[in-house]
Structure 1
Amino acid sequence: MPHSQIQSNENRRHPAPEEFHILKTSSNKDFSDLLFLCAETLKAQGAALVILENGNTWIKSSYGASHKEIPEVEDLWQEILDQEEIIVFTPEELSKKSIDFNGLAAVPLKTVSGEKLGIIAIFEPQEMPLSPNQEHALQVLVKQILNVVGFRKQNNLYKRMQQDLEQRYRELERFASVVSHDIKSPLANIISLIDLLKEENQDIFNEDTKQYIEFLSQASHSLRSYVDGLLVFYRSERILEKEEEDVELKPFFDNLTKLFSVDPEVEITYPQHGILKKVNKAALTQIFMNLISNALKYNHKDQRRVNISFRASEDFYEFEVQDNGNGISEENFEKIFDLFTTLDLNDREGNPGSGIGLATVKKLLNHMGGDIQIESEPEIGSNFIFQIKRSC
């Protein structure tokens, strides 16, 4: 439809560009079904969504008539736009305006803040004046059209926030990776030099010096563990991007537990049967690596045991990782899954925890549609119970 020269009214001095842009760019299908209901409610020949902006007017969407069949009646659209409620024109009133419509009902399309974006026009309703029920139904339908606009606005806002968060996370991940890499290289040199110093001078150092060297060694190894954990945590997003595959439990645990069973005082039992359908194997491996590693590190007993059990329910794959380790008091059950939160406890080698491993486990499980809980008793052991959402 050709542009008209409608001038902006008082309400358009403060435009609502977001709502207008959404209304302008949304699919016609978003509105055509509601226009159909508007026409049916008034038993009318057709309906149209007319947009007015910056002195221009055009038909955004219509029902019952093509855009070309709707005449250019700029003065009439302006008159309707200036109204606050539904306005009805009889054929006689339209005839005086030299408009050949057999009746017209219309209502301004206003945002919550009062910004008028356009109008809903219903052509040639069979009954005039409109009944109270028809007026109410028309107002409800107009609100639904505004709800479509509002929903799209919120959806666009959500997408922008999501994109911003993803960008910030990528920057944080790059930062963590660069910093960790820059720390790991000199840290490896420090650890090597400390080990060399201990080995070559053990007969020269006095007891105090040996103690200082041991403190340096423990601190260096703790820092390396912290850096490695930090890298795993921020790389977990990449792990979650891996393709899903079927995982047969026995060979999966056969390979995994070889990393921990070199010590004859370590006993790890696990399921001998079972298949997981379409799961992220890389994420599952990281989860069990962290849980088994913690179960063995925080266990000061001579014989260390870890028992892994499995069952499948209708919606989840469920695992339990039970150990006979040091255990955790109930008031710390929630804390241990928070990033960088430690309980000021040292592992069997005397190294403090980093507060990253269990946070990584929980993060991976949450992304896989599951969660994790703990049952534990100090000096008796712990049982980590977690679920993974089944996709088939």
Structure 2
Amino acid sequence: MEQKIAFNEKIRQSVLIDYNISKTSTKEDFNQLTFLAATICHAPTAFISIIDKNHVWLKSKTGIEIEEIERKNSFAQLTLESKLDIYCINYSNDPKAFEDVQKYYNNNYKFYAGIPLTNLQGYTIGVLSVLDTEERELKKEQIEALKALGNQCMKLFEFAKQNKKFRVIQKKLKQKYQELEKFASVVSHDIKSPLANIISLTELLKVENQGKFDEETTQYLNYLNESSYSLRSYVDGILSFYRSEHILEKDYENVDLHNLLSGIAHLYDVANDVEIDFPETATLHHVNKAALTQVFLNLVTNALKYNSKDHRKIQITFKKTETFYHFAVIDNGDGFSEENSSKIFELFTTLDTNDRDGNAGSGIGLATVKKLINSMGGTIKVNSTPGEGSSFQFTIKRV
């Protein structure tokens, strides 16, 4: 029996280590629990104690100043040994239990109640305790309330434990992402360098041999040139997708929406067939300006590229609700069928259509847009009609 207890204690200690409960910092949540425990029981003292190997230390406390006591003969140890869901004693029932710990306390306590803090596997890592200077019995509703507080305390420990695991996984994923980004950057550089040579040599070959090649050879050179530009665009898109992670790390700030959109519209002032309408005045509070700019830039560029009409028009609308900013980018472009409305946001997915200059899409731009919007707590959807245009509607969360 003694070996079994020793073995269980070793497991209990390893379980306690997994929770990684700090001795030095106490969250307000734990302080509120001890305050409520004392208030519910009309007692001067309540505390949350953690049962370590040789000592019991207080994670949170109300009405008491001690930080740590010996585990042997402590109230927490007695509660652990009792295996009860609540352990209550009065001085008259067990004077020695109170006398053994009296050296740690300033008050002459006569009553103790303890709720074991036990995880789902049945291992107790601590105790929610209440002390009073008078002998007494707890009412049924007080006992149930203490048990509820004990459950909440254990949930806080579980949350902190899972949060720690999440941070470890998050760190590993970030490292993997950085490695992938570095790989993409190196590979794209290695691809773009020979691509630039192919494009330059192809152009040079066409110029120096103008009129010498037959029609079929000239067509082959044109195909080679177009394919090279397409591949370069594809590589640039991959880099843009991975580098968008850095955009999301930018600071949040207040943004003048009119000025932001005015800057984007100004990029297309040179084209006489382009009309871009956007809100005159609107201020967005605490948003990622870099990410939002990239979203609008991608959507506006896309709307103009996939529009074969003589007069290209874009209307940008804005409204706000209590929890979200709502935007829409509406164009009179070529549009597409409803069945493609969801898959266009998937990475590397294209609709097998060329833009107004005859270039094929990479299937990366809209995937980047969705990634940025989702990271800002929003969603995006699209309505489109072939030959009439599209309306991209998206939201970002207000904070």
TM-score by length of 1: 0.83
Which SS does the other structure have where 2:94 is aligned?
helix
Distance in 2 separating the partners of 1:178 and 1:161: 26
Alignment of 1:1-392 (within 5 A): 9-14=6-11, 15-22=14-21, 24=23, 26-27=25-26, 29-67=28-66, 74-77=72-75, 78-85=77-84, 86-96=86-96, 98-99=99-100, 101-124=109-132, 126=134, 128-240=136-248, 241=250, 244=253, 246-247=255-256, 249=258, 252-253=261-262, 255-260=263-268, 262-264=270-272, 266-271=273-278, 273-278=280-285, 280-301=288-309, 303-314=310-321, 318-388=326-396
Conserved? CA contact 2:19–2:158, under 8 Å: no
**Range with greater deviation from structure 2 (213-222 or 39-48):** 39-48
Give the SS at the match of 1:342: coil
The aligned amino acid for 2:9 is R
- The offset of 1:192, in angstroms, is 0.9
1:207 shift after superposition: 2.8
**Cα 1:131–1:330, aligned 2, differ >3 Å: closer, same or farther?**
same
Task: Determine the C-alpha separation between the residues in 2 that align with 1:313 and 1:336.
Answer: 26
Contact 1:304 1:325 in 2 (8 A): no
Moved more, 157-166 or 353-362: 157-166
Kept in 1, the 8 Å contact 2:332–2:390? The answer is yes
Separation in structure 2 between the aligned mates of residue 59 and residue 239 of structure 1, nearest angstrom: 43
Q: Quick one: which amino acid aligns to residue 34 of structure 1?
A: L
Q: Does the Cα contact within 8 Å between 1:310 and 1:317 map onto a contact in 2?
A: no
**Structure-2 change in CA distance of 1:9 and 1:26 (3 Å):** farther
Cα distance in structure 2, aligned partners of 1:390 and 1:197: 56
Deviation at 1:216, TM superposition (A): 1.1
Number of aligned positions between the proteins: 381
Q: Quote how far apart the aligned CAs of 1:198 are.
A: 1.7
2:274 alignment partner AA? E
CA pair 225-134 structure 1, distance change in 2 beyond 3 A = same
Quick one: structure 1 residues 295 and 107, their matched pair in 2 at CA, closer, same or farther if it must change by over 3 Å?
closer
Q: Is the 8 A contact 1:52 1:58 kept in 2?
A: yes
Residue by residue over 1:308-355, the C-alpha shift from the partner in whole angstroms, topping out at 9 and shown as x without a partner, is 233444555554433333211001001111121111222233322100
One-letter amino acid of the structure 2 residue matched with residue 12 of structure 1 = E
Q: Which runs of 5+ in 1 are unaligned?
A: 1-6
Change over 3 Å in CA distance of 1:272–1:218 after alignment to 2: same
Higher mean alpha-carbon deviation, 221-230 vs 291-300, is at 291-300
Moved more, 347-356 or 55-64: 55-64
Separation in 1, partners of 2:21, 2:368 = 39
Q: Cα deviation per residue 1:227-274 (whole Å; 9 max; x = unaligned)?
A: 122222222233341664543637953x5345445455x232323733
Which residue of structure 2 lines up, in the alignment, with residue 3 of structure 1?
none
Give the Cα–Cα distance (whole angstroms) in 2 for the partners of residues 59 and 309 of structure 1: 58
Q: Distance in 2 between matches of 1:34 and 1:174?
A: 48
Q: Secondary structure at the match of 1:325?
A: coil
* C-alpha separation in 2, matches of 1:65 and 1:17: 24
Q: Deviations over 1:210-237 (max 9, x none)?
A: 2222221111011111112222222223
- Taking only aligned residues, the RMSD between alpha carbons, in angstroms, comes to 3.2
Structure 2 residue identity aligned to 1:187: L
Q: Which amino acid aligns with 1:247?
A: D
Structure 1 window deviating more from structure 2 (323-332 vs 243-252): it is: 243-252
Percentage of identical aligned residues: 44
Q: Name the CA shift for 1:143/1:321 in 2 (closer, same or farther; >3 Å).
A: closer
Cα distance in 2 for partners of 1:275, 1:28 equals: 39
